[in-house]
Amino acid sequence: MKCLYLLLIIVAIISDYCFPQSFLYSGLFSVSGSASFSYSHSNPDYFVDITEKEISISPTISYFIINNLSAGIEVAYNFYQKAYDSDNYIEDINMYLSIGPVIKYYFIDDKIAPFVKVAYLQSIYNEIESVYHSRESFPGFTVKGGFGLNYFFIKSFSVETSIDYSYTQNKIEIYPEGGSPFSDSYRESIKLSIGMLYFF
């Protein structure tokens, strides 16, 4: 039975390479995503230990509404924790959740397929402070634009590399002498990324 499965896989790969076909046709689904985890520990002061943890997850599912053009949903979640361990234990937690549509257009339907993409994500930013025992939520949004290319190893799998620009705006709480208690926080970034896509 194992030999039969291996034979079927080999035949599928050979057929992908030997016969011309469309990679990006109407009715196709694609799934991609990224995940990361970071941890650091430092002791900048003899009396203070600082521990930082960060988790990021960002899955995307898309559907090709016509040949070479896909529309989908992107979800992004980020968890960041910073703890100060001294005479008093202090812990700050920031959580960021966003969701929204993403559109991607491929210029060429071939094994190497360059593309452009745009996305708009609505977000909620949560801040937890252990000192004041407070938890607050602030709304925001992110606009993304980028370009890149996909390389198809076989019909169902590709490697994608892209350069993305993003602009994020969030409400933050301030305590001014009168006026509005909220202000806008802005962030711009450029990101180079490499990932895998699965098509079905």
Span 72-105, pLDDT tens digits: 999 988 888 888 776 666 777 878 889 999 999 9
The CATH number linked to 173 is: 2.40.160.20
Q: Does residue 9 lie within any of the structural domains? A: no
Name the average pLDDT for the chain: 78
Q: Does residue 118 lie within any of the structural domains? A: yes
Q: Which has more pLDDT, 72 or 183? A: 72
pLDDT at 189: 83
Task: Give the count of alpha carbons within 13 A of 139, CB side only.
Answer: 1
Q: How many domains does the chain have?
A: 1
Q: Does residue 13 lie within any of the structural domains? A: no
Q: Does residue 158 lie within any of the structural domains? A: yes
Q: Does residue 62 lie within any of the structural domains? A: yes
Q: Which pTM was predicted?
A: 0.69
SS3 47: coil
Range of the domain at 83: 24-199
Q: Does residue 53 lie within any of the structural domains? A: yes
**Closest to 191 in 3D by CA, of 157, 155, 148:** 148
β strands within the chain, DSSP E: 29-45, 48-66, 69-85, 89-106, 112-129, 134-154, 157-173, 182-199
Cα–Cα distance for residue pair 100/98, rounded to 1 Å: 7
Contacts of 52 (CB under 8 A, 6+ apart): 38, 39, 40, 41, 80, 81, 82, 83
Q: Does residue 96 lie within any of the structural domains? A: yes
Q: Does residue 144 lie within any of the structural domains? A: yes
Cα–Cα distance for residue pair 95/140, rounded to 1 Å: 13
